[in-house]
């Protein structure tokens, strides 16, 4: 049992704005880090002056990188108030506030106008949206015809997950409601977004698990008080990372990049 859609969203938003997640995940909150973000940007064919939406922008590291390295403007959207406040502060500090803005909002009801954007980015978050078809329709709505959406996300294959990886915590950790890559493609295509490219990056998931464990072990030795204050249950996290690593090694969990393009005549109807 994982909870209602509203509970899942509230839990995601609260978790990702917390000190615990910042401690464990570091700068960006997805496997592959900013190097996979750069790869995504290349596949999206971002150009100077493009307008980009970062859906579920988290701490805003992606939005800042895209603005600084690709000279685009970025509208980041996230459900978490704490996360948005952190993202705005870091963006101000980086001197990028004129190019990057953040909006409190739901991926299933993006608070931005129709057809105003060249690209949508959504990293390690689509899998957590309870209504994925609605989120895909929203990506299509905000894109101009010919605009592209780039997703990187957790994928699932085979006979499913161990019970312990189907809880609300696992949902928030982008695992419990992950889908096969084909299903992500079908969800986007049903919204009028034709898949033009896919790549597998399963090794990025293993690296992220390794990094979380390394951070956790270091903090347990050097700053146990910080972990306790942030409410991190070290043994529980290590249990989950062990199971998640096994699931990747067994070919059950993976990570993938997917690019889709809005058709000139969109299937989206409002
Ligand atoms: C794993 S983090 C990824 C953050 C960012 N994309 C990155 O890669 O660094 C997932 C993010 O999705 C946000 N989120 C979850 N559900 C959402 C929803 N329905 N609408 C908007 N944001 C959501 C969470 O608040 C969190 O910041």
Q: What is the CATH number of the domain that holds 118?
A: 3.40.50.150
Is the Cβ atom of 83 under 6 angstroms away from ligand 1? yes
The enclosing H or E element of 252 equals none
Q: Is the distance from CB of 55 to CB of 122 less than 8 angstroms? A: yes
In a domain, 264, yes or no: no
As a whole number, mean pLDDT of residues 32-52 equals 97
| Phi then psi dihedrals of residue 159, to 5 deg | -95, 20
The enclosing H or E element of 251 equals none
Mean of pLDDT over the chain: 91
Which atom of ligand 1 is closest in space to residue 174's alpha carbon?
1
Is the Cβ atom of 78 under 6 angstroms away from ligand 1? yes
What pLDDT score does 2 carry? 64
Task: List helix spans (H) across the chain.
Answer: 5-16, 19-25, 33-44, 61-70, 81-93, 132-142, 168-172, 181-190, 202-222, 224-229, 234-249
In a domain, 68, yes or no: yes
pLDDT grade for 6, boundaries at 50, 70 and 90: confident
The CA distances from residue 68 to 37, 203, 244, in Å, are: 13, 27, 34
What pLDDT score does 268 carry? 55
End-to-end CA distance of the chain: 33
59 secondary structure, DSSP code: T
pLDDT grade for 158, boundaries at 50, 70 and 90: confident
Lowest mean pLDDT among 24-28, 53-57, 68-72: 24-28
Q: 125 C-alpha to center of ligand 1: Å?
A: 5
Q: 4 C-alpha to center of ligand 1: Å?
A: 17
As a whole number, mean pLDDT of residues 217-245 equals 89
In a domain, 267, yes or no: no
For 113-141, write each residue's pLDDT tens digit: 999 999 999 999 999 999 999 999 999 99
pLDDT grade for 168, boundaries at 50, 70 and 90: low
Q: Residue 143 belongs to what domain range?
A: 5-259
In a domain, 128, yes or no: yes
- Count: domains in the chain: 1
Q: 231 C-alpha to center of ligand 1: Å?
A: 20
In a domain, 150, yes or no: yes
Q: Counting beta carbons within 10 angstroms of the beta carbon of residue 225, is it exposed (0 to 12), middle (13 to 18) or buried (19 or more)? A: exposed
In a domain, 60, yes or no: yes
Q: Between residues 157 and 175, which one has the greater pLDDT?
A: 157
Q: 21 C-alpha to center of ligand 1: Å?
A: 12
Q: 155 C-alpha to center of ligand 1: Å?
A: 16
Cβ count within 10 A of residue 141: 22
Question: Mutate which of 125, 132, 138, 171 to test ligand 1's pocket (most atoms within 8 Å of Cβ)?
Answer: 125
As a whole number, mean pLDDT of residues 203-230 equals 91
Q: 78 C-alpha to center of ligand 1: Å?
A: 6
**Angle at 247 (CA atoms; ends 38, 253), nearest 5 degrees:** 40
Is the Cβ atom of 62 under 6 angstroms away from ligand 1? yes
- Please give the model's pTM, rounded to 2 decimal places: 0.92
What pLDDT score does 1 carry? 45
Which atom of ligand 1 is closest in space to residue 56's alpha carbon?
22
Q: Between residues 256 and 229, which one has the greater pLDDT?
A: 256
pLDDT grade for 172, boundaries at 50, 70 and 90: low
pLDDT grade for 171, boundaries at 50, 70 and 90: low
In a domain, 270, yes or no: no
Share of the chain above pLDDT 90, in %: 69
Q: 122 C-alpha to center of ligand 1: Å?
A: 8
Which atom of ligand 1 is closest in space to residue 13's alpha carbon?
25
Structure tokens at 114: 């129709």
How many angstroms separate the CA atoms of 139 and 107, rounded? 8
How many angstroms separate the CA atoms of 138 and 114, rounded? 9
As a whole number, mean pLDDT of residues 216-244 equals 89
Q: HEC states along 75-129?
A: EEEECCHHHHHHHHHHHHHCCCCCCEEEEECECCECCCCCCCEEEEEEECCHHHC
How many angstroms separate the CA atoms of 219 and 249, rounded? 26
Atom 12 (ligand 1) nearest CA: 56
In a domain, 196, yes or no: yes
What pLDDT score does 205 carry? 93
């Amino acid at each position: 049992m994982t909870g209602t859609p509203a509970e899942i969203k509230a839990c995601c938003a609260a978790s990702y704005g917390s000190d615990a997640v910042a401690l464990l995940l570091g700068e960006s909150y997805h496997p592959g880090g900013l190097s996979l973000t750069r790869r995504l940007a290349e596949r999206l064919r971002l150009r100077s002056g493009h307008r980009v939406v970062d859906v579920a922008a988290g701490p805003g590291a992606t939005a800042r990188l895209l603005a600084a390295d690709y000279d685009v403007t970025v509208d980041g959207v996230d459900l978490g108030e704490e996360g948005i406040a952190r993202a705005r502060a870091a963006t101000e500090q980086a001197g990028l506030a004129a190019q990057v803005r953040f909006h409190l909002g739901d991926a299933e009801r993006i608070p931005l106008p129709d057809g105003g954007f060249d690209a949508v980015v959504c990293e390690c978050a689509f899998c957590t949206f309870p209504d994925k078809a609605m989120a895909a329709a929203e990506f299509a709505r905000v894109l101009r015809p010919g605009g592209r959406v780039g997703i990187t996300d957790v994928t699932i294959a085979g006979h499913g997950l161990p019970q312990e990886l189907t809880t609300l915590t696992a949902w928030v950790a982008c695992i419990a409601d992950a889908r096969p890559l084909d299903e992500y493609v079908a969800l986007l295509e049903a919204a009028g977004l034709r898949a033009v490219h896919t790549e597998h990056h399963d090794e990025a998931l293993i690296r992220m698990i390794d990094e979380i464990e390394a951070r956790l072990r270091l903090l347990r030795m050097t700053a146990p008080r910080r972990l306790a204050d942030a409410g991190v249950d070290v043994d529980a996290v290590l249990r989950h990372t062990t199971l998640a690593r096994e699931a990747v090694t067994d070919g059950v969990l993976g990570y993938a990049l997917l690019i889709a393009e809005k058709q000139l005549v969109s299937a989206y109807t409002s």
